[in-house]
Amino acid sequence: MAISISKPQTSSSTIDPQSGFCSKTLTYHSLRPPSPLPPLSSPLSLTNFIFNILKSTTGTASFIDATTRRFISYSDVIKLVRNLCISFRHLSISNSDCAFIISPNSSYVPILYLSLFNIGAVVSPVNPASSVTEIMNVMRLCKPVIAFATKETVVKLVEAGFRNRIVVIDSDEFEVMIRGELIGDGDGDEVEVMQSDVAAILYSSGTTGKIKGVKLTHGNLIATIAGAMAGREARSSPAVYLCTVPYFHVYGFILCIRMLAFGDSFVSMGRFDMRSMLRSIEEFSVTHLPLAPPVVVALVNDSNEHLVNGTNWSSVEMVFSGGAPLTVAVIDKFKKRFPNVSLVQAYGLTETTGGISRIAGPYESTIVGTVGRLIAHCEAKIVDPNTGAGLPPMKRGELWVRGPFVMKGYVDDKEVIDTMVDSDGWLRTGDLCYFDNEGFLFVVDRLKELIKYKGYQVPPAELEHILQSHPDIVEAAVIPYPDEAAGEVPMGFVVRRKGSTINETQVKDYVAKQVAPYKRLRRVCFIESIPKNAPGKVLRKELIKMALSGVTSKL
C-alpha cells in the first residue's frame, strides 16, 4: 500500500528560532525538522505504515529474546505477522475487538501487537504482576473478547473470571499459529483500518487517582513513530537496543514497535534482573539501553559498583531514562561513572502516546536536568495555573501540549477527558514546567503534588533532589503532611546508605542550609525502600497512608 504524504506546516516569522516561542500566540513550537505524515483520511494501520518503511530497509537486524536466545530477523517478521493475522481470523477476531495481553517481555510480543493492529483489533496489555482484583478492574474497562497469556499468567485470568478464548503464547498452539500451519485458500484478504480507529488501550499509572484506560489510535502511534524517525541520526550499522522496560507501559510499548521502522536490533528481557542485564550488554554488544529511573539509580549506587565495573561497557553509546525525572545528583554520579555514555532523558504521558520531548545529539545531552526539546509536530504552552495566561521562557506554569499524538480519550470517562483536553485540542498535563531560552523543557513537579505551606508552594521534587545529593542518602521522597497551623508541611522519607548513621536532625539541617525557611523539612522517616510503580514513579499515596497511619512517630 502506497502512503500519501501531506506537507508539513510552515513556521511563522514570529517564532523565536532559539526557543521556539511565539510571542504573538504565547505558544512554543518544535525546533525539530518536521516529519511528513500520511493524511488522516487515508486508511492505514500502524502495521502497514511500519511495513512500508521496513520493505525499504536492508540489514541483519532482528528481534532477540535474551531468555530463549530466539532470533527473529526483520525479513521474516512480515511473514509471521501475516500468519498470525490469518490464524486470528480463524478465531473470529474482528475489527474493534479488544485483545487482552498479560505477558512478560519476549520477542513474540511485538509481533503479536503488529498482527492485532493489522486486523483492526484493539491491543490492551497489562502488567503480568497485577493482582487478580486489578485484572478484573482493567477487564471491566476494556471488555476483551480474547486474551493472550503465558503459562504462568493464565491462572490469573481464570481466577479473574475470564470466560472467553485464551491463547497461551508459550505453547505449541501459538507456535502452530505463528508458523502458518492453519493457513488455507482465500485467507489473505486485508482488513481496512482507519487511522482514527483505536489501536490500543493502555493504562495510566493510577498514582494520583483511579486507573484510566487511555485510547490511542493508529494515527497517534504513526505520528509518534514518524516524529521519532525525523530526529534520528544516520548510522553506519544498526543499533542494538536492550529493552528492560515493560511492553505494557507506553515507554516499552512504543519502543518495541518502532524498532522495526528504525531497522535496529531489539533484545527483550523477560523479567528485569541486574546481572542478566549486564550479561546481555556484553553478549549482544548493546549500543542503546532504555531504562526505568530506579535502574539508573541502581547503576550509580556504590553497592553495585563492583558488579557494574566488571561489565564491558565499550559498546554502549546511550542510556535512556523515562517515566519519571532523574535528580541532578544521580545525573552527576552517572556521568562520573560512565563518562563515555550519553544519558538521555525524555518526557511524555500515556495520554500523549509517549515522549513529546527528548534529548538528541551530543550538545543537548550536556544540558543538565532537561528532558529535551519538543518533538516534531508538537506545540506547547506554559500556563499560569492561577490566571490561565501563557508564559514566556524561564517562567513556571502548567505544561499544555497539542499535536497528532494526543489520545482519542479515556474508556467510558468523557467527563475526565473534557476537563483534560479543551476544544482547541490542548491537553493539560498537570505538570509544573518551564522552557529555557533555547527551547529546553524542564519538569519541576506535579501540580497536584505541590505542598501548600502557609500559602507558599513547595515542590517535593526540589527537596528530593537535595536529599539525594547527600552521600549517605540512597533514595528519598517528600510528601505533604497535614498540619493545623501551616496547612501542610514537607515530610521526607529517606533510605540511608548501608552502614550510615545519619539521623533526623542531620537530614533536616542539610536541607535547611539550601532552601528558604518555608521549604524546610518538618518531619523525617527512615525506611528500607521507596515504593514505586513499574515505570519508576514514586507511589506518594502509599507514603501518605504510611505517614497518616502512625507508622512514624511524631518528630
pLDDT digits (tens, 9 = 90+) for 51-83: 988 876 666 778 999 988 889 988 899 999 999
Helix (H) or strand (E) holding 27: strand 27-29
Q: What does pLDDT average to over the chain?
A: 87
pLDDT beyond 60 at 146: yes
* Spatial separation of the C-alpha atoms in residues 439 and 393, rounded to whole Å: 8
pLDDT in tens, 476-499: 999 999 887 777 899 999 999 989
Q: Name the band, by pLDDT with cuts 50, 70 and 90, for residue 369.
A: confident
What is the CB neighbour count within 10 angstroms for residue 254? 22
Q: Evaluate if residue 397 carries a pLDDT over 90.
A: yes
Q: Which three cell numbers stand for residue 271?
A: 523479567
User: Do 113 and 87 form a contact (C-beta atoms < 8 A)?
Assistant: no
pLDDT at 552 exceeding the cut of 50: no
* Count of beta carbons in the 10 Å neighbourhood of residue 495: 18
pLDDT at 539: 85
Please provide the DSSP assignment of 481-503 as one string: EEETTTEEEEEEEEEEPTT----
For the segment 118-139, what is each residue's pLDDT rounded down to a tens digit? Answer: 999 999 999 898 888 889 989 9
Q: Where are the domain boundaries for CATH 3.30.300.30 in the chain?
A: 450-548
**CA distance linking residue 54 with residue 195, whole number of Å:** 19
Give residues with Cβ within 8 angstroms of 134, minimum separation 6. 126, 127, 211
Q: What type of residue sits at position 224?
A: T
For residue 553, what pLDDT band results from cuts at 50, 70 and 90? very low
Question: Residue 183: which pLDDT band, with cuts at 50, 70 and 90?
Answer: low
State which H helix or E strand residue 519 sits in: none
Q: By CB neighbour count within 10 A (0-12 exposed, 13-18 middle, 19+ buried), where does 12 fall?
A: exposed
Is a pLDDT exceeding 70 seen at residue 551? no
Long-range contacts of 502-505, Cβ-Cβ distance < 8 Å, separation of 24 or more: 502/470, 502/472, 502/473, 504/555
Residue 418's pLDDT band, with cuts at 50, 70 and 90, is confident
Q: In 3-state terms, what secondary structure has residue 260?
A: helix
pLDDT band with cut points at 50, 70 and 90 for residue 404: very high
- pLDDT of residue 185 exceeding 70, the answer is no
Indicate whether 554 pLDDT > 90: no
Could you give the angle at which helices 74-90 and 172-179 cross, rounded to 10 degrees? 110
Write down the pLDDT at residue 127.
Answer: 87
Rounded to an integer, the average pLDDT of 398-402 is 96
Kindly report each contact of residues 73-78 with a partner whose C-beta sits within 8 Å and lies 24 or more positions away, as own/partner.
74/260, 74/263, 77/111, 77/114, 77/260, 78/51, 78/54
**DSSP per-residue string spanning 110-161:** HHHHHHHHHTTPEEEE--TT--HHHHHHHHHHH--SEEEE-TTTHHHHHHTT
- Rounded CA-CA distance 384/298 in Å is 36
C-beta pairs of 13-16 under 8 Å, 24+ apart in sequence: none
The reported pLDDT for the residue numbered 337 is 92
Q: Per residue in 300-358, pLDDT tens? A: 887 778 888 889 999 999 999 887 778 788 888 899 999 999 998 899 999 999 999 98
- Where, residue-wise, is CATH 3.40.50.980 in the chain? 70-193
Give the model's pLDDT for residue 57: 63
pLDDT at 517: 85
547 CB-side CA count, 13 A: 26
> How far, in Å, are 26, 279, 428 from residue 423 at the CA level?
18, 50, 12
Strand residue runs (E) in 172-305? 198-203, 213-217, 240-243, 265-268, 288-291
Do residues 221 and 239 make contact, with C-beta atoms less than 8 angstroms apart? no
What's the grid cell of residue 79?
A: 511473514
Task: Output the CATH code of domain 70-193.
Answer: 3.40.50.980
pLDDT in tens, 194-218: 999 999 999 875 444 567 899 999 9
**Is pLDDT larger for residue 136 or for residue 551?**
136
Above 50 in pLDDT, residue 9? Answer: no
CATH number of 450-548: 3.30.300.30
The answer to whether 169 and 150 have CB atoms below 8 angstroms apart is: yes
| % of the chain surpassing 90 pLDDT | 55
Q: What is the pLDDT of residues 422-479, one digit of tens each?
A: 889 999 998 999 999 999 999 988 787 878 787 677 888 889 989 989 999 999 999 9
The contacts of residue 186 (CB under 8 Å, 6+ apart) are none
